[in-house]
């Protein structure tokens, strides 16, 4: 099944519980706008290569489109449509005044030189400039992109339309109008949520975690968890994984990843990306890509809690199995929403000429996460459903009540 198909199944389940008609749901599922572009980029050897890219705006009932830009070889329209869809529900659950959007370019950024990456980033932004803007659609980082790429794209947008528009993109470097606290925001939001759940469920103080994916979200999650005294017993990335039942030395692991670009090679037992999902830990953190927990391995999941820092890591069939097994799934549209929430803080500061302190950002993020969690947990208990369906119900209600008449 396709990733967009999975997003559809999830939404249908929530819509059924709310008694939403098929017609209304159909209209809500499909995007408002799809922009497909071909980026012609000069490589360092003088050859010109073409990279396919997309910007999908899913829904703007609650505000401008918002969502990251992914650089990854597996990007396709089906995936970007699903990711844009999830952004709409994520922003609505968090009650930030944005709709949903997403972008992607089919490329392996690790195979490009820095100059090639810069040319690709700027070409892509130049091509999508007519459909984005501070009050239209606001990109941000995602898998394979970072603050430097955002800075290049900001320059490309400004030169395409003229003037200075820091609010067109978030996740920028601080000197270009970025916000303090945006770098670790995705992990931190998930970490705040985990702290709440760990307290409610009376988890041991030194609870254990396994993290699949060691990009921005996975790395900061490991750091926050280790700083809190949790035991990170396994970590993996596309190079493979390492585990140590007594807990990995996270500071050393981060230094190893920084110097070699990979997890593999770090001391500990070797573990695959599949095996890591089945470890007997308190908390499993999928922080990589979609469709990792499926009907084939869901029965083998031993974690008590799955904290989704990735988007779409669990398929609908796996969701049903985990719910029956009593595994608590903290869904992506809540668990990884810290990123877009601090993106909203960044955009707000840009639009209003403000600069917040790190304490202010953390305080407001915590407040937002707890408010959203409370609403989702209450809804789940009221209608006796899983947290993903409950989160989608909260989001659907908000998006529909903001629906435009025409």
Whole-number Cα distances in Å, 302 to 3, 209, 220, 283: 25, 12, 23, 9
- Cα separation, 169 vs 157, whole angstroms: 9
Judge whether 102 counts as a catalytic residue: yes
Other beta carbons within 10 Å of 165: 17
Of 221 and 234, nearer to ligand GLU (C-beta) is 221
If one asks whether residue 60 binds ligand GLU (CB under 6 A), the answer comes out as no
Nearest Cα to Cα of residue 298 among 281, 280, 282, 277: 277
343 binds ligand GLU (CB under 6 A): yes
Q: Which of 311, 314, 315, 379 binds ligand GLU (CB under 6 A)?
A: 311
Name the residue nearer to ligand GLU (CB basis): 154 or 281: 154
Work out whether 142 is an interface residue with ligand GLU (CB under 6 A): yes
Q: Is 210 in the site for ligand GLU (CB under 6 A)?
A: no
Q: Residue 189, interface with ligand GLU (CB under 6 A)?
A: no
Q: Select 237 or 275, whichever has its Cβ closest to ligand GLU.
A: 237
- Contact stretch for ligand GLU (CB under 6 A) within 119-127, 276-284, 337-345, 390-398: 337-345
Answer yes or no whether residue 140 interacts with ligand GLU by CB under 6 A. yes
> In a 3-state reduction of DSSP, which class is residue 392?
helix
Q: Which of 31, 65, 68, 241 binds ligand GLU (CB under 6 A)?
A: 68
170 binds ligand GLU (CB under 6 A): yes
Q: Is 58 among the residues that bind ligand GLU (CB under 6 A)? A: no
H or E element that contains 33 = strand 33-42
Whole-number Å distance between alpha carbons of 373 and 367: 10
What's the length of the chain?
Answer: 406
State the angle between helix axes of 387-401 and 3-18 in degrees (0 to 180), rounded to the nearest 10. 80
Nearer to ligand GLU, 66 or 188 (CB): 66
Region binding ligand GLU by CB under 6 A among candidate stretches 17-25, 60-68, 72-80, 267-275 = 60-68
Q: Among 128, 340, 361, 365, which residue interacts with ligand GLU (rule: CB under 6 A)?
A: 340
Which residue from 13, 55, 57, 66 is in contact with ligand GLU, where contact means CB under 6 A?
A: 66
Rg (C-alpha) for the chain, rounded Å, is: 20
Minimum Å gap between C-beta 189 and ligand GLU is: 10
- Among 81, 90, 102, 304, the one annotated catalytic: 102
Q: Which residue is nearest to ligand GLU (CB)?
A: 68
Binding segment for ligand GLU (CB under 6 A), chosen from 18-26, 52-60, 64-72, 391-399, is 64-72
Please say whether the beta carbons of 62 and 92 come within 8 A. yes
Return the C-alpha torsion angle 396, 399, 400, 403, nearest 10: -160
CA-to-CA distance for 241 and 292, rounded, in angstroms? 15
Check binding of 183 to ligand GLU (CB under 6 A).
no
Give the CB-side neighbour count of residue 308, counting CA atoms within 13 A.
25
Work out the burial of residue 272: count CB atoms within 10 Å of its CB; fewer than 13 is exposed, 13-18 middle, 19 or more buried: exposed
Return residues touching ligand GLU (CB under 6 A).
66-68, 140, 142, 170, 311, 336, 339-340, 343
Active site amino acids: 102
């Amino acid at each position: 099944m396709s990733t967009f198909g999975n997003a559809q199944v999830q939404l249908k389940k929530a819509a059924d519980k709310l008694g939403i008609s098929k017609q209304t749901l159909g209209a809500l599922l499909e995007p408002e706008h799809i922009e497909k572009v071909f980026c012609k980029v000069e490589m360092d050897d003088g050859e010109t290569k073409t990279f396919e890219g997309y910007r999908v705006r899913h829904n703007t009932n609650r505000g401008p489109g918002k969502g990251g830009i992914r650089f990854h070889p597996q990007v396709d329209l089906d995936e970007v449509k699903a990711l844009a869809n999830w952004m709409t529900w994520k922003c609505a659950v968090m009650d930030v005044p944005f709709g949903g959007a997403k972008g992607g370019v089919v490329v392996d950024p690790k195979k490009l030189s820095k100059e090639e990456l810069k040319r690709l980033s700027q070409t892509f932004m130049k091509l999508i400039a007519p459909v984005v803007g501070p009050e239209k659609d606001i990109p941000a980082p995602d898998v394979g992109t970072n603050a430097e790429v955002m800075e290049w794209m900001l320059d490309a947008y400004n030169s395409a339309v003229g003037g200075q528009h820091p609010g067109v993109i978030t996740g920028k470097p601080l000197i270009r109008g970025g916000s303090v606290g945006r770098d670790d925001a995705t992990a931190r939001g998930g970490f705040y949520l985990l702290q709440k759940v760990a307290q409610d469920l009376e988890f041991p103080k030194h609870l254990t975690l396994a993290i699949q994916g060691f990009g921005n979200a996975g790395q900061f999650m490991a750091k926050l968890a280790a700083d809190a005294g949790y035991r990170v017993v396994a970590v993996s990335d596309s190079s493979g994984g390492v585990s140590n039942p007594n807990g990995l030395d996270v500071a050393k692991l981060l230094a190893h990843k920084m110097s070699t670009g990979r997890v593999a090679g770090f001391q500990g037992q070797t573990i695959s990306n599949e095996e890591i999902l089945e470890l007997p830990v308190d908390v499993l953190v999928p922080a990589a890509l979609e469709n990792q927990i499926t009907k084939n391995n869901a029965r083998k999941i031993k974690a008590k809690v799955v904290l989704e820092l990735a988007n779409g890591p669990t398929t609908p069939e796996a969701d049903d199995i985990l719910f029956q097994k009593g595994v608590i799934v903290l869904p992506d549209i809540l668990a990884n929403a810290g990123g877009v929430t601090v993106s909203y803080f960044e955009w707000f500061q840009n639009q209003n000429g403000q600069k917040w302190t790190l304490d202010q950002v953390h305080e407001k993020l915590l407040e937002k996460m707890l408010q959203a969690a409370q609403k989702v947990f209450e809804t789940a208990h009221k209608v006796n459903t899983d947290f993903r369906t409950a989160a989608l119900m909260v989001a659907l209600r908000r998006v529909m009540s903001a629906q435009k008449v025409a």
